[in-house]
Structure 1
Amino acid sequence: MGSLKTFIKSVRSSKTIAAERAVIRKESAKIRASFRDVQLDNDKRRKNIQKLLYLYILGEPTYFGQVECLKLIASSRFTDKRVGYMATMLILDESQDILTLLTNSLDIDMQSTNQYIVGLALCTLGNIASPELAKDLYPQVEKLIKSQSSYIKKKAILVASKLIEKDPMLTEVYLPYLNDLLSDKYHSVLLGTCYLINSIYYNDETSHETLKQLIPKLTTHIKLLITTGYSPEYDVKGIPDPFLIVSLLKSIRIILQNDSNSNHLESINDLLTQICSKFENIKGAGSAILYETVKTIFTINSDSSLKVLGINILSKFLIQKENNIRYVALDTLLQVIEFEPLAVQRHRSTIVGCLHDGDISIRRRALELTFGIMNQQNIKLLTKELLNYLKKEDDEELKFYITTQLSISCEKFNANLEWTLETMISMLNIAGNYCNDNILSSILATTMQVKNQNLIKKILTDMINTLKNGLFDQYGLSLVTIWCLGEYGDLIISKEISESLIIDLINSILAVANYSNDQQKVQIKIYILTTCLKLSIKIQNASLIEHLRKIINESKNDINLEIQSRSIEYSKIFGEPIKIKKGLLERMPAPLIRKHEGSSLLDRSHNVVIGNTITNNSSISNPTVDKGNILLDLLGDDVVKSKEKDSAIDLLSDIFGNSTINTKNNSPDINSSISNKKNDNILGLFNNNQSITVDKSIINSEPTSIEAFNDETIKVGFIEKDIGNGNAELEAVVKNINKDSNSISNIVVLCAVPKHQKLQLSSISKTVLTSNDFTILNIKITGNSGSKVKIRVKLSYVLNGSKVDRQFDFSAANALL
């Protein structure tokens, strides 16, 4: 067999894919045959494993070399171990059973006198650790954390953080070492300690108070870094170790993110102000420190002046030439605009200027931020900018987003119907094909609210003149114009716009229009048929009326069933006497304008606490929370069950007709209360007029529970019914505590437990809670005896038409399965 270098040259020199595949298959077969040789020495085995790594890079199967990697690791030579551990980290993962054979080798190597062999073992354990490996090898990692070598200590700390993620129970093993580790003088050890702090915080809720005691040491390290002089070992363009400063700030932010009454806030605010003043005009690494500082300002409970300072720093990022810095600034402003909207408003011109950036990702965030800062005072100015931008933008997704958000903003912030309608028509002229049905229906509903007939005449005349210029390909404009002709055609008939011109316009739209999909063609044709019918009572020329009848009759044999049905129905109405037609075809009453929710260009699926409010945030998330969210999303069956249950209740209500159950307070125990009335007819089946009234006195009051979450709108508590022998039975009590007495709807409760435990969650009995109403869910957890009871809860509900997402953890105090 040739060398690795020869093998790579053979692959690269292949002129066709078939020739390359032949070389790979031939070499792979040779490697397999070599591994079957019982006399194979470690030198040849090492060369074959190196070739195996190249095969792995090419995406070829490498499973047949797993055992050989373990054999190479068992060698006493460092060169063999290095290749063996590298291949093991790439070829194996924690899900494979063969990993158990690695335990002994890792244990032996972590006790080696050669620090580089110890480092290899630690690196491998950190990359492919499974819960089983974590339980077996954590004592060795604990010993290495106390090592005198900073090289070994820093690796051991990082591995400890990985083991905690695999088995959160190990938190109590490594937590006592944090205080001493933060006293270490080596920056690499401090960096690893920051990562360990973050891992402990996210995996063990009971450790939060202990971690808060570390805040003074973390702040001391930052002060020393920013006040001490030049340090050549860690210096980055005059900044002393920006990596460590950022890590220390992140740990402080994570520890204090849920703490609104911390004793450390005043000193932290002073420190953040000092950092901002020192690095304000330093680019590169200084920008990274400032960015982390701004995130910290908005995460902890900082005062308003500090938040304004943070927004001013982000605005300076916006005027820099570096695209990445501007991207970060826009993304962060989107997350913090709700805290200091006036401060963000001051930088409106800079934000709008980013709309013309060449980078699509920057334009997307600038667009969303532009709509975020829009209010009653600046809507006209921003709308003008957005319409100009809409003319130049080629991205279809952005056009859909702009038209939707612009129509929603016009309805929300401006009561001037004339300006709103003119803006909507201008939008239709520019991007009529990118307006969905909700937008078009909203425009029509807004038009019907207008009482001034002169304004309607002006708007409709402008639309007709625009269409006359050949814009028949704008679906939205054509649809709205056709509908308005049917409703208000009699208002515009004059010398300038004659009856024949209206009919010619309808014929042109019917014949010339070519829209993007068949659904739009069908919709236009249906609207034209309706308009023809309505114009038959508004037009006086008999020949033109007959032409309208012809348009309707020609569609009787259309291949679309809806068009065919409309044509047949309308032709019958067309033949009715004029008095009957006028009654049927009079103007429609103005409907209520439905409020539409805005959409987002960005996927902000991760919940992160900023201050005391949970907001959608994608850039300040952590890996552990991400995994929890993924796990919670997999439990979506509970949402389906709740909806199915609601629909089942509705069906029962329909079946029982007039029978009603009047309850003064809905409760999960209502069924038991009703069942006590044995002498009553069940649900009025024998007398449809009978109703069963359940008094509030019959229903059980809210049970006493341990409060786990409270956002002053909804409260969640837990009742520990039975815990022990590897099982835990809990009840979750969800209560509406809204002070404004508003009801909460669409309540969804999802729960998740650690991987080594199993969860059974009952469906929520009520998805709508009135003021002071509550509902109960049953939770059953099974797992290893002696493990802690920990639950991650994802809660969502709708209040005043807005969806709210919350996420929190609950740990039963001193309770073990």
Structure 2
Amino acid sequence: MKFPDLSMSNPVRLRDLIRQIRSAKTAAEERAVVQKECAYIRDAFRDEDNTWRCRNVAKLLYVSLLGYPAHFGQLECLKLIASTRFTDKRIGYLGAMLLLDERQDIHVLITNSLKNDLNHSNQYIAGLALCTLGSICSPEMSRDLGGEVEKLTKSSNPFIKKKAVLCAVRIIRKVPEQFDIFQNSVRSLLSEKNHGVLLAAITLISEMCEQNQQALQIFRKVLVPNLVRILKNLIMSGYSPEHDVSGISDPFLQVRLLRLMRILGRNDIEASEVMNDILAQVSTNTENSKNVGNAILYETVLTIMDIKSESGLRVLAVNILGRFLLNTDKNIRYVALNTLLHVVQADHSAVQRHRATVVDCLKDADVSIKRRAMELCFALINSNNIRTMINEMLTFLATCEQEFKADCTSNMFLAMDRFAPSKRWHVDQMIKVLTTAGNSVRDDIVSSLIGIISSSPDLHGYTAQQLFKMIRNDITQQPLVQVASWTLGEFGDLCVNGQYERAEDEENIQVTEEEIVNRLEKILNWSISTVVTREYAINALMKLSTRFPTCSDQIQSMMTVYACNMNLELQTRAVEYTSLFTKHTQIRSSIVERMPVLVNNQTSTTNNEEQTYEQEESSLASKPNFQTTSDVKQEPVADLLKILDEPSTTHTSHELYTHDNIFDVLSSPIEQPILSSNPIDDIFGNNLLNNQTTSSNGINSSIPQMTAIDKNGLRIIFQFERKDKNLFIHLQATNSAKIPITNFVFKAAVPKTFNLELLPPTGTTIPSNNSGDVRQTIKILNPNKEKLRMRIKLNYSFNDSTPISDEAELNAFPEQCYH
């Protein structure tokens, strides 16, 4: 390989250096070539070689693109920029864009050269300066040169004007306050005939509206009619070869206009009314046979669904998405499903018309389309179509990939929990789900189904009989076996005695005590059974030891065998159960009696559960003005669900009343006081004070207060005040830690049947050592007087350190809150 000769008077040309580097066979050879050339370039810079400076900087830029250090060429770029030759300026500005940025102090030295070149008579030099300013401008440089850029936006040269407007976009992005400088010139830009300048102007207005609330309010009043006129001219204009793309006039400008209209029309009725007609024209007149038209229709749909549009226009938008579902292009089908999933809450009935098409998408070979179709199907389920949709989803569950089964079963459980027409149908369908999904069912679904069975006394015997039929010949499906084991342990005697209502078309199958015990013994001894399944089985056998007296000796022998099991959990249970047989026979029947009805906690592991909640968020730092619930409801579903996109920590009544269980264990004959939400108060007799005295907030209420969170030193107490159907929850947050809590943000979500309004807090900083607090009021309207459930999410940090996020689900509100 030939290396550059450093003794040559003329440096190696750029093309020759590229050829030498590409011909290197190893990384070491390449490094050698680069190092020799960089050494030559350093010597040339040190000798102030003005003749070949441009060529050397060009080679250095290529070396920089390969990942080698080139910082020693930064000052040389500034010297080239100061040159009077265009070729030198071109390389100098290119080097500045590649080697400089706002984090380096040296970039400030370029400000004066930029100012001179912005006013240069040569349009190409001025264009270079604008491109460089847009690329490397800092907030200080933006303030210094913003006025010069604003002058160029009024230039008569379209080339300069377009680049100036695009540079202004970058300046606004860096310093939103610069909006005042460009405000007046922006309006005149909308009358431009040049589509390039017009497209840049629309981009600048969009950036201003997104970065500055004041700009949004001003432009919303004065620009909407102009935007409607421009879009109408584009639609009605004839063929223009300069702007035509697949028979559509300048689709890029149309898309930008639609996006800007979406920003201006959001949450504004007057602006939306002006846009309704033109959006209807775009929806009906745009050809959808090619992707260009589909892109415009897609933006139109997003705009219609995001502004305060008419109901008929929303139906039209949903119908466009329905046509997208029939398209052969998979990308278009995916976009349609994804968009329908976001707009289904805005217009549920319109999306329902396309339910059959959505269900057909479950059969698509593309897994992305299949997942979105599954999520949309669950969003479409209601009390009217629950039977049909569950049958469709069972068919899908039987054939879908393994990765879908867990989500599908969880969503089916939640849908049936909400809309099941009867308990018996609910239980039958869940047994089918367990049978079809196999071992892909999540653990929380098993416990939740057990809760449903427990709370349905009329179905105890029927459910036990149905589950025994399922595991009689197949015990490979662990979730099904776990539910069956628990049910047989609790209600196996009802199954044997035939104390249940049989279905009309069901054959009469007699089940004996020995069959149930033998089946549970097989589950317990089977090597493939998981430890959890064996725990269910051994508990079930112990339960049946008193209900099936004839099998008691067989069950006792099993417990004796498992008292030496290698698994510590099974061994412990077996030893304890054996002692009940030998030492505590007199109390065995009372210990293994039927469990009381289980509290069915809310499952929080699926994607669709969150759609039953509404959420409000308060943050003084980002939203100084209070936003009402009506505004929150119109937010896109994806944004609405950010608070609920993870499984939450559940605080149930069992956790809140833990201290009260001490009285049960000790069998105290003393009559229990009325339970408050804070068990410590009960122990010290403070509950009477809560009921009769004024709280720390000065609220006189007979409803006991409740501790929502007590973690990391942060303690949140709810105090209640009820007025007719309105419940006011007064939140008080204190901090017992030695470090103050900062950036405190409280979020709350309630079921859709409630109406939640979250008032601004008194602050975002909670002083340390309980020396102060933050207070906030939550207003809840409960027209149906349903039991209150709430999910809360907290974001905070200790003295501006690492952010902390906590979640909890509250189900144990005092009854006085809703009765």
Fold shared, TM-score > 0.5 on shorter chain:
yes
Corresponding residue for residue 741 of structure 1 = 726
The 1:221/1:768 distance shift into structure 2, 3 A limit, reads closer
Q: Within the alignment, does 1:215 sit opposite 2:221 as a pair?
A: no
One-letter identity of the residue aligned with 1:486: G
Q: Within the alignment, does 1:482 sit opposite 2:494 as a pair?
A: no
Q: Within the alignment, does 1:103 sit opposite 2:130 as a pair?
A: no
Corresponding residue for residue 82 of structure 1 = 90
Match of 1:389 among 379, 391, 396: 396
The 1:187/1:803 distance shift into structure 2, 3 A limit, reads farther
Corresponding residue for residue 813 of structure 2 = none
C-alpha distance in 1, partners of 2:98/2:634? 37
Contact preservation (8 Å) 1:440, 1:476: yes
Contact preservation (8 Å) 1:403, 1:435: yes
Corresponding residue for residue 519 of structure 2 = 505
Q: CA deviation at 1:659?
A: 4.0
Cα displacement string for residues 93-136 of structure 1 (whole angstroms, at most 9, x for unaligned residues): 33333322232232222122221222222222222322122112
One-letter identity of the residue aligned with 2:169: S
One-letter identity of the residue aligned with 2:413: S
Q: State TM-score, norm by structure 1.
A: 0.74
CA RMSD of aligned residues (A): 4.3
The 1:619/1:503 distance shift into structure 2, 3 A limit, reads closer
C-alpha distance in 2, partners of 1:73/1:121? 9
Corresponding residue for residue 47 of structure 2 = 39
C-alpha distance in 2, partners of 1:765/1:388? 42
Q: Within the alignment, does 1:145 sit opposite 2:153 as a pair?
A: yes
Corresponding residue for residue 454 of structure 2 = 448
C-alpha distance in 2, partners of 1:798/1:25? 73
Name the SS for the 2:308 alignment partner. coil
C-alpha distance in 2, partners of 1:320/1:238? 20
Cα displacement string for residues 130-152 of structure 1 (whole angstroms, at most 9, x for unaligned residues): 21221121111111111111111
One-letter identity of the residue aligned with 1:23: E
Q: CA deviation at 1:178?
A: 1.9
Contact preservation (8 Å) 1:532, 1:549: no
Contact preservation (8 Å) 1:351, 1:370: yes
Corresponding residue for residue 206 of structure 1 = 214
Match of 1:318 among 314, 322, 325: 325
Q: Within the alignment, does 1:523 sit opposite 2:526 as a pair?
A: no
Corresponding residue for residue 138 of structure 2 = 130
Q: CA deviation at 1:84?
A: 3.4
C-alpha distance in 2, partners of 1:296/1:42? 57
Alignment map for 1:578-597 (pairs within 5 Å):
580-597=587-604
Name the SS for the 1:777 alignment partner. coil
One-letter identity of the residue aligned with 1:337: V
Q: CA deviation at 1:76?
A: 3.1
C-alpha distance in 1, partners of 2:181/2:721? 40
Alignment map for 1:489-638 (pairs within 5 Å):
489-493=492-496, 497-512=511-526, 514=528, 521-541=530-550, 545-558=552-565, 561-575=568-582, 580-597=587-604, 599-600=606-607, 612-613=631-632, 617=636
Contact preservation (8 Å) 2:493, 2:548: yes
Match of 2:202 among 179, 194, 198: 194
Further displaced range: 309-318 or 240-249:
240-249
Match of 1:294 among 301, 309, 333: 301
The 1:804/1:302 distance shift into structure 2, 3 A limit, reads farther
Q: CA deviation at 1:9?
A: 4.8
> May I ask how many residue pairs the two structures share in their alignment?
682
One-letter identity of the residue aligned with 2:446: L
Contact preservation (8 Å) 1:31, 1:48: no
Corresponding residue for residue 717 of structure 2 = none
Name the SS for the 1:231 alignment partner. coil
C-alpha distance in 1, partners of 2:639/2:196? 23
One-letter identity of the residue aligned with 1:140: E
Match of 2:354 among 333, 347, 353: 347
Name the SS for the 2:192 alignment partner. coil
The 1:250/1:428 distance shift into structure 2, 3 A limit, reads same
Q: Specify which structure has the bigger relative contact order, considering alpha-carbon pairs within 8 angstroms and separated by 6 or more residues.
A: 1
Give % identity: 36
C-alpha distance in 2, partners of 1:737/1:91? 65
The 1:220/1:510 distance shift into structure 2, 3 A limit, reads same
Could you tell me which runs of 5 or more consecutive residues in structure 1 were left unpaired when the two chains were aligned: 516-520, 622-628, 634-649, 674-693, 697-734, 749-758, 781-793, 807-817
Match of 1:309 among 308, 316, 337: 316
Could you tell me which runs of 5 or more consecutive residues in structure 2 were left unpaired when the two chains were aligned: 5-11, 498-508, 618-622, 646-676, 702-719, 734-739, 766-775, 782-787, 795-819
One-letter identity of the residue aligned with 1:228: S
C-alpha distance in 1, partners of 2:264/2:453? 54
Q: CA deviation at 1:778?
A: 3.6
Alignment map for 1:113-192 (pairs within 5 Å):
113-192=121-200
Q: CA deviation at 1:530?
A: 0.9
Contact preservation (8 Å) 1:432, 1:477: yes
The 1:13/1:448 distance shift into structure 2, 3 A limit, reads farther
Q: CA deviation at 1:244?
A: 0.9
Q: CA deviation at 1:458?
A: 3.5
One-letter identity of the residue aligned with 1:306: L
Cα displacement string for residues 473-495 of structure 1 (whole angstroms, at most 9, x for unaligned residues): x3212211221221122244498
One-letter identity of the residue aligned with 1:179: R
Corresponding residue for residue 247 of structure 1 = 256
Contact preservation (8 Å) 1:119, 1:152: yes
C-alpha distance in 1, partners of 2:410/2:18? 54
Q: CA deviation at 1:54?
A: 4.3
Q: CA deviation at 1:70?
A: 3.3
Q: Within the alignment, does 1:226 sit opposite 2:235 as a pair?
A: yes
The 1:438/1:112 distance shift into structure 2, 3 A limit, reads same
Alignment map for 1:379-418 (pairs within 5 Å):
379-396=386-403, 398-418=404-424
Contact preservation (8 Å) 2:748, 2:792: no
Match of 1:658 among 685, 692, 706: 685
C-alpha distance in 2, partners of 1:255/1:368? 31
Contact preservation (8 Å) 2:383, 2:421: no
The 1:776/1:132 distance shift into structure 2, 3 A limit, reads same
Cα displacement string for residues 144-166 of structure 1 (whole angstroms, at most 9, x for unaligned residues): 11111111111211221221221
One-letter identity of the residue aligned with 1:259: D
C-alpha distance in 2, partners of 1:160/1:797? 45
Q: CA deviation at 1:227?
A: 0.9
Q: CA deviation at 1:575?
A: 2.6
